[in-house]
Structure 1
């Protein structure tokens, strides 16, 4: 796919800084123009000469390996329902003990910790 990139065609320009952890924030003007929401996927295309085209990925692409694994699990559950059991209460108690007092903010930026 040959793509001609002419900076005169740009309707919006923005910049951001790369952090020490190689992360960046997509500027608000770009997020708004692409109608990006948290959790959505972004597609990057690297062009010759080091230019990158960033676009909103319209559809979430399925991972073929995960899809095959989930199909395997589904088929096994249908063929062998006798192997499906409740998770023991002691298991859940152990999980609760291990995670007691741990709070996770999935929207917080990653830290070196």
Structure 2
């Protein structure tokens, strides 16, 4: 009777140990995928089209057009902070956009 109990405990522990390592590996892979997805979803202010800019929070057609107009007249953005030089975009708007945009 004791031998069967020991075997059952060993099997349960082996299964539990396998589950933990599989779960840890799955979580690690999920984290890596989310980091890649985040990196790939940033919108480059220097190449974005009117339609792409309009997908940003708080950016409608007129602000998107103003961004493109600024970019065409002043040259490419050198930093994300430079976006505040565009008419209608202030510090608060920039704060809303910071996680969605980049400059390359």
User: Based on CA coordinates, which of the two structures has the bigger radius of gyration?
Assistant: 2
Structure 1 or 2: more helix by fraction: 2
TM-score by length of 2: 0.23
Q: Which has the higher contact order (CA 8 A, sep 6+)?
A: 2
TM-score by length of 1: 0.21
